[in-house]
Amino acid sequence: MPAATTTSTALAHPALTLGLLLVLATLVGLVGCTAIPFFSYTSATGETYGIGALGYWVDGRAVSEKYHYAAPSSWPSPLTHAPLLLLIHLPLFILLALVLLYYLVLLVRPAGAGAAEPLKRVERAPTAPRVAQLAVGAAALIIVVCDAAMWGIADHRGEVLTGAPLGFAVVIAGPVLLVLWAANQSASWLAYRAYVARK
């Protein structure tokens, strides 16, 4: 078997599809559904803020536990927009969870005689859902770029803004996972086209 075909087959593997989706949904869910700090900001007075979607922390103490909370007056721009930016991760998580649910339905739905094995159903998902998934992936990449841009803008303005461990995980691993997911979806689409051609 040619090396290119072997690589394409590996990229299209259903386990990779499900694994990437699970990791992406978990990372985005931690950002969008919890108060786990994504950014860490140290003010001019020496206070350290852990900034999450569902609230922020001051020197390790939780202060707010709601979405789109009012940023403290000591936060400079662009940090005043952090609550809204992190809130945007919530609908993204919902979209990723729906995509994962779609594949889980393919795995567990009853199949008649001669139907494909469950994992093959994932690999042979039709084109329309894959286009929708790539759109979700593109939206996720844009949001990750916005996350990184906030760091860059704050650094340019001389603010002491760094990433919390979750922030580093998303900004560094996120683009890599999304590129792998795009490759996986493209390879799976080619596998689906080959399957249709054989029918």
Long-range contacts formed by 110-116: CB under 8 A, 24+ apart? none
Q: How far is 47 from 70, CA to CA, in rounded Å? A: 17
Tell me: the pLDDT tens digits for 84-111?
Answer: 999 999 999 999 999 888 888 877 776 5
- Judged against a pLDDT cut of 90, whether residue 189 lies above it is answered with no
Per residue in 65-80, pLDDT tens?
A: 889 898 888 898 889 9
pLDDT in tens, 23-44: 999 999 999 999 999 999 998 8
**In terms of pTM, does the model score above 0.95?**
no
CA distance 108 to 183: 25
- Residue whose C-alpha is closest to residue 50's, from 28, 93, 83: 83
